[in-house]
Amino acid sequence: MDIDSIMKTLTPLVVEYGLKLLGAIAFWFVGAYIIKIIVKLIGKSLDKRNTDESLKLFLLNITKKLLYVALVISIMTMLGVEMTSFIAILGAFGLAVGMALSGTLQNFAGGVMILLFKPFKVGDLIEAQGYLGVVNEIQIFNTILKTPDNKTIIIPNGGLSNASMVNYSTEEIRRIDLSLGIGYGDDVEKARQILNDIAKSDSRILTAPAPFIGLTEMADSSVNLTFRVWAKGADYWAVYFTTNEKVYNEFNKQGINIPFPQMDVHLFKQD
């Protein structure tokens, strides 16, 4: 083939694919600009929700990468590259990986949900999955608790995000319930007055809501009273233990019996 024949053959190809290449380059720059705007808007939206910084960066990076993958696939399709088989292989690979890592992906999704919707935060006292502890760290796959006896509990986020949970730190104040028994024949009104005086003497016990004292049950060995007071969440355990001690001391001091289960045993001698 001479030069003229080669030129006649190549010229239409160069023109056709050259225009496609220029269009692809232009499409790349326009797409990259749009991706930048989308990522920026998502970042602002996450900032408004006070999203955890590590989660924010992770979500922005993965969103950016997925958008660029879609952009590359679109450009290759514009250039005439057959992408059907490639997308099918990629989908099958993703399905296989997803099935192999189903538990891990569930924990990852749970971590994202926890960090986005914030059912609890670091420092909260929660009860979940049979454990009670203070949230020490929220990771993308696990949440780490510190128990009152200083054990470290690692809970996968998948189960934590899908199961019931009690957050003791959400409300500013908490109610303290005490069940107290006095002896049959003791003055209930006197016991009530002692409990009211104990509540008034402790500045940590709130006056609103007001303390509640009620006769709950006439049990086998005692007359049971329910004593309910309110305190700030941070004072809960201190008030609980202090109030129990004060009740014991004052009841003893003022002649209110604190009964305990008793059993009469009768012995019969048989000839």
Q: Are residues 162 and 147 in the same domain?
A: yes
Which residues are within 8 A (CB) of 219 and not within 5 positions of it... i.e. 6 or more apart? Answer: 181
pLDDT of residue 229: 97
Q: Are residues 155 and 206 in the same domain?
A: no
Please indicate, yes or no, if residue 262 is contained in any of the structural domains. Answer: no
Range of the domain at 227: 173-253
Please indicate, yes or no, if residue 268 is contained in any of the structural domains. Answer: no
Rounded Cα gap, residues 63 and 51, in angstroms: 15
Please indicate, yes or no, if residue 180 is contained in any of the structural domains. Answer: yes
Rounded Cα gap, residues 34 and 38, in angstroms: 6
Q: Are residues 237 and 182 in the same domain?
A: yes
Domain total of the chain: 3
Secondary structure of the chain in HEC code, one letter for each residue: CCHHHHHHHHHHHHHHHHHHHHHHHHHHHHHHHHHHHHHHHHHHHHHHCCCCHHHHHHHHHHHHHHHHHHHHHHHHHHCCCCCHHHHHHHHHHHHHHHHHCHHHHHHHHHHHHHHHHCCCCCCCEEEECCEEEEEEEECCCEEEEECCCCCEEEEEHHHHHHCCEEECCCCCEEEEEEEEEECCCCCHHHHHHHHHHHHHHCCCECCCCCCEEEEEEECCCCEEEEEEEEEEHHHHHHHHHHHHHHHHHHHHHCCCCCCCCCCCCCCCCCC
Q: Are residues 95 and 134 in the same domain?
A: no
Please indicate, yes or no, if residue 106 is contained in any of the structural domains. Answer: no
Q: Are residues 178 and 126 in the same domain?
A: no
pLDDT of residue 17: 64
Please indicate, yes or no, if residue 66 is contained in any of the structural domains. Answer: yes
Q: Are residues 40 and 91 in the same domain?
A: yes
- The model carries a pTM of 0.61
Domain boundary among 46, 69, 100: 100
Write the CATH number for 151.
Answer: 2.30.30.60
pLDDT of residue 57: 75
Q: Are residues 227 and 160 in the same domain?
A: no
pLDDT of residue 61: 80
Write the CATH number for 208.
Answer: 3.30.70.100
Q: Are residues 38 and 77 in the same domain?
A: yes
Residue of 163, 170, 168 whose CA lies nearest to 129:
163
Q: Say whether the peptide bond before residue 209 is cis (omega within 30 degrees of 0).
A: yes
Q: Are residues 199 and 244 in the same domain?
A: yes
Q: Are residues 126 and 183 in the same domain?
A: no
Write the CATH number for 72.
Answer: 1.10.287.1260
Q: Are residues 182 and 125 in the same domain?
A: no
Please indicate, yes or no, if residue 223 is contained in any of the structural domains. Answer: yes
Please indicate, yes or no, if residue 185 is contained in any of the structural domains. Answer: yes
Domain boundary among 50, 70, 100: 100
- pLDDT tens, per residue, the chain with 271 residues: 556 565 556 556 555 566 677 777 888 888 889 989 998 998 888 788 777 676 677 778 888 888 888 888 888 877 776 666 666 666 766 666 565 555 677 888 888 888 888 889 888 999 999 999 999 988 888 899 999 899 999 999 988 888 889 999 989 999 999 999 999 889 999 999 999 999 999 999 999 999 999 999 998 888 999 999 999 988 999 999 999 999 999 999 999 988 877 666 777 777 6
Q: Are residues 189 and 231 in the same domain?
A: yes
Please indicate, yes or no, if residue 189 is contained in any of the structural domains. Answer: yes
